[in-house]
Amino acid sequence: MIRILFVSLGENMFGTEKFIYYLVKNLPKDKFEVHWGIPYKSKLSQTLEAYGIKYFDFRNGTLNGFKVRGLINIAKYIYKHKIDIVHSNSGILPCIVGKLMGVKKCYETRHGMFFSDEQLNNFKWPQKYHEKIKQYFVNFQIAIAENDKNRMIKYFGMNPEKIAIVYYGIDIDDVRKNGVKSGTKIISDNHKIEFLNVGRFTYQKSQVDLLKAVNLLQKEFKKFHLTIIGEGEEKDNLVNFVATNNLNDFVKIESYKENIHCEILKCDVLVMTSRYEGVPYVVSDSMALGVPVIHTDVGGVSNVICNNKDGLIVEPGNIVEIKNAMKRMATDLELYKRIQENASRKIEEYSIQRMVNDYVKLYTM
């Protein structure tokens, strides 16, 4: 039996935690004894308890990086439970602790390159070296897309043989349990196309670019509405932008929903305007649910979505291009249906079982 410890710093069931949950739930029970370390009691711990998943609180006390107390508690847990593998999902420090404690294997999954290409180009040598030396504390750094691996090599000078690629997988049957969107009435006198954006209200997600695009679109086309779902430090700025530009008839800003799949099914198109990303689960989920996606060309998105075939890819920060993509989706029924059908088929390549199998190979090689 291989004892594996997952470590994360999140407090909600967002992308990283959803990824761990899928692995915990689906790794072969006869081969792996799974442990999950979380920073403190939170909404995540309540969710895990509801799902019947065991976890331990390493009492880190904050989400802003690992504290000494948290790392010491992780080390004690590794020793007490004779952990064989440490799999960090929030940075390299748990892997360093694992190495110091004599753990056999350590892995870090990088859930995206959370810098724009412009920022990466401006990295100074200490930043680049800080990223490069991480490879010496793991058996593999795991990228979630080919694009991310290429950036790790290009900007940090990492050894390609130390980087594995494992794409996110989704539980397609679970995602589709509430139904799948098929067909649409987007071109009709009485249908107003519903756009949706889901994510934290942050600089990274750049919902302000989406609102700027909406401001342009409403001057050319009126039959649409946008719902933005999330929370974060940029919320007041987004609300003020909507009010200042008189967009209340076109935009609604809402808090997080428990069942985001139901919200996706209510919309016609998902629009994401991030400055940088990994491969967001909301994109995969939307594709599986028959909801076409418009996304900026960041992270590994273009590894999953082929432009004009499985979705529409736009340049980050290009407001006119975002507006034009939204208008195309709203007015070109043939394009909409083609993307809807292609995306639904394409995402079936990214099953949870494929992801689990890839990780089992890494853990046992």
Residue 71 has pLDDT above 70, yes or no: yes
* Residue 133, token pair as written in the block: 């030396």
CB 6 within 8 A of CB 34: yes
Of all residues in the chain, the percent with pLDDT exceeding 90 is: 78
**Distance (Å, rounded) from C-alpha 99 to C-alpha 105?**
8
How would you list the strands of the sheet with 56-57, edge to edge?
Answer: 56-57, 32-38, 2-7, 85-88, 105-110, 140-143, 163-165
Residue 63 has pLDDT above 70, yes or no: no
The CATH number of domain 2-169+350-364, selected from 3.20.20.450, 3.40.50.2000, 3.20.20.60, 3.90.1150.10: 3.40.50.2000
* Greater model confidence, 184 or 67: 67
- The dihedral region occupied by 82, where left means phi > 0, alpha psi between -120 and 50, and beta the remainder, is left
Average pLDDT rounded to a whole number, residues 344-352: 94
| pLDDT score for 110 | 94
| pLDDT score for 188 | 55
Residue 79 has pLDDT above 90, yes or no: yes
| DSSP for 46-72, written as a single string | HHHHHHT---EE-----SSS--HHHHH
At 287, is the pLDDT very low, low, confident or very high (cuts 50, 70, 90)?
A: very high
**Distance (Å, rounded) from C-alpha 328 to C-alpha 18?**
32
| pLDDT score for 189 | 54
**Distance (Å, rounded) from C-alpha 108 to C-alpha 139?**
9
Which distant-in-sequence residues (6+ apart) come within 8 Å of 359 by Cβ? 23, 27, 166
**Confidence (pTM):** 0.90
pLDDT single digits (tens) 205-231: 999 999 999 999 999 999 999 999 998
**Distance (Å, rounded) from C-alpha 180 to C-alpha 173?**
11
At 242, is the pLDDT very low, low, confident or very high (cuts 50, 70, 90)?
A: very high
Q: Please state the domain extents for the chain.
A: 2-169+350-364, 173-349
Range from 138-152, 255-269, 298-312 carrying the lowest mean pLDDT: 255-269
| pLDDT score for 310 | 95
Element (DSSP H or E) covering residue 342: helix 333-346
CATH number given to 173-349: 3.40.50.2000
Do the two domains 2-169+350-364 and 173-349 of this chain adopt the same fold?
A: yes
CB 159 within 8 A of CB 138: no
**Distance (Å, rounded) from C-alpha 135 to C-alpha 141?**
6
At 150, is the pLDDT very low, low, confident or very high (cuts 50, 70, 90)?
A: very high
Mean of all residue pLDDT scores within the chain: 92
